Amino acid sequence: MQAQQAPSAPLIFADAERPLGERLMKLALETDRIEGYTEPHAVMIARLAETIGRQVGLHGQDLTALKFAALAHDIGERGLKRNYLLQPNALSWEETLDLWRHPILGEQSAAELQLPRQTQLLIRWHQEWWNGQGYPDGLAGASIPVGARILRAVDSYCALISQRPYRQAYELPEAEQVIADLSGIELDPHIAKLLLAVVVAERRQREAEVWSVPPAFEPPSIHAVEESPALAAIDGEIPSPLYTPDTLTDFGAVERQDLQTAADAADAVDPEHQSLEPTKAPIEEHIAQVPEDLPLASSVPPVAKELEAIPTPVALPHEVLAAAPYGDVLMHQASDDESPAQTDVAHSAAIVHHDSARDEQQEPAPKIPS
Amino acid sequence: MLTNSTTNRRWLGFELSVLRRLKFNSIAIPFAGQPDLGWYLKFWGKQVLDNDLCQWAWWMSRALVENAGEALTEEDVSLALGEAYVPHRRLHNPALGAMMSEMDAVWFDNLWLNVQQIENEHRRALAIMLALGVGDYAFSFTPETMELRRPLSEAFLALWRNQRQVVDNGKENYSVNRDAHDFIRGARAELMFVRFPGPEGLAGLRQSVAGWRETWVRGTGEAWDQLIAAQRGRLGDDVVSKEHYLQMVSNFLARAKHIQQWAIAHTEDGFITAAEMGDVIKQFRRVDVSYNKDFSDVVGGRNTFIIVA
């Protein structure tokens, strides 16, 4: 199902991008495997991110940096090497906080790979939320670079439509609904709107293609149609406000789709009443089951679906989290007469090696460069 | 666009990176703003003393830092959202009417009255924190994206279901709503972590997220003017010269001399350099080490330092 759902257009690199881009493609596939993705997740993100990036006016090096960041966005998870990434249940808070280090580790790995600095920072900030509740830096709103906001949106969407170790893939319309619900919370509403326009258009195009390609789809035979309740309606036995016999004579892809919708509706007809009106009984039953004293719970949007199990407050083993490094800084010891500005040395791979080593230690002593 | 900070732009991941390297058991944060740092430090077993002049930050800190395990229940949520859309004859907080649509103003006005009925103060703080998040949510939409906006009660529920775990780390953690100078003079902690307010002061944040938040929690449109007046001559006041700003920094640090170690975050914004900040610190004690992270390769990024002294 996921393979059918996933946007399948190839990712195109310009000549100048190709060597590094193809290298990152291989790396992305390996990272996807570590994360438990069964489809080319990072490639899908890169393609969508490029599309959205163009729409917001990115071009040249900015667009290249975005594509590279999309391919390598979860490269930091390679450094985690934690079993919980593939476990079928939701993460504990200890595991969640450990996982939250991956953008910083990703930034460091990107520096090791000598990716552009802009790409490194986009990787660092691809988990920042529009409302400031993301990680690692807690940036909010327009403080988050637009490339990182694009990555956040397309990463969320592509994760939703992919099967994960802890849940099934969302159907495309369902995923689109979640993206809409996350707007203003996790996602920049403007970026979310652009993304929705792209993915909805792609979905409709694919659906139209499915209906218009005979070898891949066997349209119902006239005989089969005649037997269906839908045709009964169309033939006038049961009046339908939607379909009349002449609409059957020359219908295109859209009409076929509508016909299928009508057939689906007919499937839900109560046989005793033989009405083409879709039955409302299940919905009414659902509403009736909602306790009166919890009127609000029934309106919880799907956004909360994955996170319904809110952990109850507990005292946590501090040592678990104390061992989690946040190693991404450059440190210099200052002499009495040395000002901090004199210690300014830019970020670079030099610190990466230092901090990667820290990852394996429990309480490392700070290294002070001589 | 609303901004989301009462102090300089924060870089939480960088700050945590540095604090991970320092040995301390207790920390005082005089300009806390968003209490995320304190929340993380609680996970690490540290005793956290959070302070902010703004009441919205204080309520959020009470919810996440001072709170030792209380969680917002379904009953609390039902109480908070009860008849939230029902308009009364007039708004309890008329200033809301000038900041948002009539329907939104009614919702926030009712919610404020409703959450006062939650008896447990930490659960009440959690409800206020969620409502502040709903406000940020409401303000994040433009006419072009309004179609994506959900009803405010639904946004409240979504935030409630996604809220962070309330941590009990077995320590007495405090949240204080005082002027930072008064707070730090009485704070007893092994480490002080500071992000100083920017030179634009509170006046520059009137149109920010902080502006509407303070208006809502204080129940008056004059809240921001009152804060500005209270900070005349102190950090949080707006200044136009380096000398004036650095003098205010110096005055503040003079009140923190009793705290064993300082970690002072400074983001270079073209006004005060890290070197100048370091010079002020050295009036009081030796600078041990400075940590640097350069985010300036992208628009909005800055070169950031944390100076440990």
For B182-203, the pLDDT digits (tens) are 999 999 999 999 999 888 888 7
**Residues 34-73 of chain A whose Cβ lies under 8 A from any Cβ of chain B:** none
**Residues 178-207 of chain A whose Cβ lies under 8 A from any Cβ of chain B:** 180-181, 183-185, 189-190, 192-193
CA distances A49 to A20, A44, B199, B281, B304, Å, are 17, 8, 37, 45, 29
Asked if pLDDT for residue A139 goes beyond 80, the answer is yes
List strand residue ranges (DSSP E) for chain A, in order: 330-333
Do residue A326 and residue B10 have CB atoms under 8 angstroms apart? no
Query: Cβ of A86 under 8 Å from any chain B Cβ?
Result: no
Instruction: Please tell me whether the overall predicted TM-score, pTM, comes out greater than 0.90 for this model.
Output: no
Say what the ipTM of the complex is. 0.92
Query: Cβ of A309 under 8 Å from any chain B Cβ?
Result: no
Write out pLDDT tens, residues A217-261: 454 444 444 444 433 333 333 333 333 333 333 334 443 444 344
The SS3 of residue B235 is: strand
B159 CB contacts (<8 Å, ≥6 apart)? A185, B130, B133, B134, B137
Question: Which pair of tokens denotes residue A10?
Answer: 């190839």
Do residue A118 and residue B289 have CB atoms under 8 angstroms apart? no
**Counting one residue from A and one from B, how many pairs have CB atoms under 8 Å apart?**
233
- Residues in chain A with CB shorter than 8 Å from the CB of B69 are 313-315
B-interface mutation test, from A126, A296, A354, A359, most B Cβ less than 10 A away: A296
- Residues in chain B with CB shorter than 8 Å from the CB of A321 are 43-44
Strands across the sheet with B261-267, in order? Answer: A330-333, B289-294, B303-308, B261-267, B191-195, B26-29, B47-51, B174-176
pLDDT of residue A74: 84
Nearest to B149 among A184, A294, A300 (CB): A184
Nearest to B137 among A131, A145, A190 (CB): A131
Asked if pLDDT for residue A271 goes beyond 50, the answer is no
Query: Cβ of A152 under 8 Å from any chain B Cβ?
Result: no
Asked if pLDDT for residue A311 goes beyond 50, the answer is no
Query: Cβ of A272 under 8 Å from any chain B Cβ?
Result: no
Longest distance between any two alpha carbons in chain A, whole Å = 96
| Mean pLDDT for chain B overall | 91
pLDDT of residue A214: 58
pLDDT of residue B119: 94
pLDDT of residue B95: 92
Do residue B168 and residue A311 have CB atoms under 8 angstroms apart? no
Amino acid at A183: S
Do residue B148 and residue A189 have CB atoms under 8 angstroms apart? yes
Contact B160, B72 (CB under 8 A): yes
